A and B are shown apart, each in its own frame.
Chain A
Amino acid sequence: MIYVDNAATTKMSKEVLDSMMPYLTESYGNASSIYSFGQQNRAAIENARETVANLIGAKPSEIFFTGCGSEADNWAIFGAARKNIKKGKHLITSVIEHHAVLHCFQQLEKEGFTVTYIPVDSEGLVNVEDVKNAITPETTLISIMMANNEIGTIQPIKEIAQIAKENNIVFHTDAVQAVGHIPVNVEDLGVNLLSVSAHKFEGPKGVGFLYVKTGTWLSQFMYGGAQERNKRAGTENVAGVVGMATALKIATENLDANMDKCYKLRERFIDGVLSNIKHCRLNGSRTKRLPGNANISFEFIEGESLLLSLDLAGIAASSGSACTSGSLDPSHVLLAIGLPHAIAHGSLRASFSHGNTFEEVDKIVEELIKIVQRLRDMSPLYEDYLKGKK
């Protein structure tokens, strides 16, 4: 199988698994217990905390482990909105956020908050001026994702964080697609809250963390035991946080080399597709983009058929088509950058990892040429197009 869906999830490395194994087997003590059998796990957790903190430029006391990236997003948004409710009930986000963010804001609207959804340009970029202009005296939270999961666009987070700071507003960024893939330093970015998920950078699934800058007002997330400094109850996932720390350490140590490799893979893929297949377009920015992300729309064909055909050829990728999501609308991100529905339905996302090869890229392009032609030959839209041209 050729796996190019690394934005969905990644393969855990042997090194990561090895680091986790003791905590999945012999070292099963509860980290909250007083005996040394539990305390050695407490030490492992605090080590992991220190490791990830150092890797993103934070203090260990600013790292709160969570059950996933979605949880970190939920906590940041509900936590900041509710904690600062006396100051105001206006929130700002963008139209291209992941559902883990968007659906939180939609829920808050039902609870009486007002939300401004900042639009994006045709490349998926948020305009910093738009954010500035949306701010009211009532605004308490701005949440803009660092890198988009579908089209890979990287936002001007530092600039937006600066504006939030000047206006004394909490700033959150969903960095789930960014951390481990591009340089992320919370000090440099100037953010208050930042969400991370381990399985996106070759760590285990079901673990993540929220960075909370000292002094940021945020309410408790999970009620119960005193774990995570009384803010997020629940017996710790020791193996998970240890695996996440190992994965982030490896990803950071190899960051430059991985970015370079992913960039080359993706450029070869984009060039290969655009130069061999007619009537397709690259979605997102060619430059302000995650190194491993390619998102291409093929006119006249539908994405699920494309994915099924690729799967039959042993290739795993993803699409923003409505047919793959079970809803009637194609991806909100593709619609937000102005794609007509029909073209958004025909999108393909290939997300590369450093483990992919150039041979794989060439093979995918080769298969795509055949598949796209086959599906177009079946498509009434393509027939209309050809007849209209005659």
Chain B
Amino acid sequence: MYSEKVMDHFSNPRNVGELENANAVGEVGNAKCGDIMKIYMFIEDDIIKDIKFKTFGCGAAVATSSMATELVKGKTINEALELTNKAVVEALDGLPPVKMHCSVLAEEAIRSCLADYYRRQGIDPTPIVGCSCNCEECHAHDHE
């Protein structure tokens, strides 16, 4: 049901863990729906210098978190904001249709993390990041 890439990122997730010196944290999803993604970033000079994630969810959720963090690591904030769930899915050689919502979560987690970064700088993130909650069932929870 999953591609080899998905299974690879599921069994050997990249960037998994916590980030001690994080200056942005985002968490989306909730335990009720069975999926939570939490992303930590260390951002310097507008560049995502380091990134880590933790995920409670299915294989697709773990793999998309892993891939999404790979795709934005070392990138600028603007580049990261352009990341779409579609790009993550393509990089994973596709996902089964019922699992597409898990990839949306990865995109949201990145946005929510960047929103947190701006908020910590005293900048209203909404005009820059947009609303990070486009999942109808699970409300995105920005990390406080």
Binding site for B on A (CB under 8 A): 300-302, 304-305, 308-309, 312, 321-324, 326, 328, 330, 340-342, 345, 377-381, 383
A308 touches B10 (CB 8 A): yes
Top 10 A-B residue pairs of the complex, sorted by shortest distance between their CB atoms: A342-B31, A323-B58, A304-B58, A380-B38, A345-B34, A380-B54, A326-B98, A341-B32, A308-B59, A379-B56
14 contacts between A and B (CB under 8 A): A300-B56, A302-B57, A304-B58, A321-B34, A322-B34, A323-B58, A328-B137, A330-B34, A341-B32, A377-B16, A377-B17, A378-B16, A378-B62, A379-B56
- Distance in angstroms from A380 CB to nearest chain B CB is 4
Please, how many angstroms separate the alpha-carbon atoms of A341 and B32 in the complex? 5
Q: Is the CB of B58 within 8 A of A381?
A: no
Q: How far in angstroms is the closest Cβ of chain B from A8?
A: 16
Q: B residues 1-36 with Cβ under 8 Å of A?
A: 2, 7, 10-11, 13, 16-18, 27, 31-36
New A-B pairs, 13, CB < 8 Å, besides A323-B57, A345-B34, A378-B55: A305-B10, A305-B58, A308-B2, A321-B58, A322-B34, A324-B58, A341-B31, A341-B32, A378-B16, A379-B55, A380-B27, A380-B55, A383-B54
Task: Name the distance in Å between A80's Cβ and chain B's nearest Cβ.
Answer: 35
- Chain A residues whose CB sits within 8 angstroms of the CB of B37 once the complex forms: 380
Among residues of A, the one whose C-beta sits closest to the C-beta of B57 is A302
- B16: chain A residues at CB < 8 Å are 377-378
For the complex, give the distance between the alpha carbons of A102 and B97 in Å: 26
**B33 and A381 within 8 A (CB):** no
Residues of B within 8 A of A (CB): 2, 7, 10-11, 13, 16-18, 27, 31-38, 54-59, 61-62, 98, 137
B32–chain A nearest beta-carbon distance, Å: 4
Which of A324, A342, A378 has the most chain B CB within a 10 Å cutoff? A378
The interface residues of chain A, by DSSP majority, are classed as: helix
Q: Given that A322-B33, A380-B36, A380-B38 are known contacts, is A312 also in contact with B58, CB under 8 Å in the complex? A: no
Please state if B33 and A328 are interface contacts (CB–CB under 8 Å): yes
In the bound complex, residues from chain A placing their C-beta under 8 Å from that of B34 are: 302, 321-323, 328, 330, 341-342, 345
Interface centre among B56, B61, B137, by most A CB within 10 Å?
B56
Residue of A nearest to B62 (CB): A305
Q: Measured between alpha carbons, how far is A62 from B10 in the docked complex, in Å?
A: 52
Which residues of the partner chain A approach B98 to less than 8 Å between Cβ atoms?
Answer: 326
CB <8 Å contact, B137 and A381: no
Interchain CB contact under 8 A, A378 and B54: yes
The complex places the Cα of A312 from the Cα of B7 at a distance, in Å, of 9
- Return chain B residues, CB-CB under 8 Å to A305: 10, 57-59, 61-62
Closest to A376 in B: B56
Q: Which residue of A lies closest to B66 (CB)?
A: A378
CB distance from B59 to the nearest CB of A (A): 4
| Cα–Cα, bound, A381→B18 (Å) | 13
Chain A residues near B38: list those with CB within 8 A.
Answer: 380, 383
Nearest Cβ in chain B — how far from A288, in angstroms?
A: 29
With most chain B CB atoms within 10 A of its CB, the pick from A323, A326, A340, A383 is A323
When the two chains form their complex, are residues A302 and B58 in contact, meaning their CB atoms are under 8 A apart?
Answer: yes
Cβ of B17: which chain A residues have Cβ within 8 Å of it?
A: 377
Task: Report A-chain residues with C-beta under 8 Å of the C-beta of B13.
Answer: 378
